[in-house]
Amino acid sequence: MAQRRWLLPTIVAVVAVVLAVIYYHFDPSQGGGWFPQCGMYRLTGLRCPGCGLQRAAHALLHGDVAGALRYNAMLPVIGVALALYAVIVWRDKRDSLSWRVANHPATSIVALVLMLGWMIVRNILGC
């Protein structure tokens, strides 16, 4: 049981390291063609809330914080929020305030509104 508990975090950590190595060595902004592309951007020309995360990850891994924010200004928010959420859910302390906040019905609505709002804003501002 204890081993099973650590299975998912281990997989996530390994995948994260592999992705970090890939995005450090290859620059998605230089094209190359084999980086995944955003379907919504391709089909509609609209930037989705996640657009630019690959380029931002490359910039961040090279210490270029300003560049990362330019590609996707929400990268820090998304990264910190998802990491916090993952830790809270994984800890599974159901009586704690953090767990109850993370699993509150309003949390998912807030997240959805934030992302759609960010999508609208960035398409208006063109950032």
Partner 1 sequence: MQQFWINQDGVQQGPMTIDQLRKLGVKPEAYVWCTGMPDWLPVAQVPEVAALIESTKYEVQSTKEQEPPVDHAVAPASQPNTTPLGGDGGGSAPEMSTSMPELPQQPDVPMPQQYATQQPMPQQPMQQQPAPKMPPTNLGWAIGSMLLCCIPLGIVAIIYSNKVSTSYYNGDYEAAERYSETSAWWCIATIVLGIISQPFLSLFAV
State in angstroms the smallest separation of the CB of 49 from partner 1: 6
Longest dimension (CA), the chain: 49
Q: List residues near partner 1 by CB under 8 A.
A: 36-37, 39-43, 45, 48-50, 53, 78, 82, 85-86, 89, 94, 102-105, 107-109, 111-112, 115, 119
State in angstroms the smallest separation of the CB of 43 from partner 1: 6
State in angstroms the smallest separation of the CB of 111 from partner 1: 6
Question: In angstroms, rounded to a whole number, what is the distance separating the alpha carbons of residues 71 and 29?
Answer: 10
Nearer to partner 1, 61 or 85 (CB): 85
Cβ atoms of 107 and 101 within 8 Å: the answer is yes
Nearer to partner 1, 62 or 104 (CB): 104
Hey, what's the torsion of the CAs at 106, 111, 113, 115, to 10 degrees? 180
The amino acid at residue 110 is: V
- Determine phi and psi for 55, rounding to 5 degrees: -65, -40
Nearer to partner 1, 63 or 80 (CB): 80
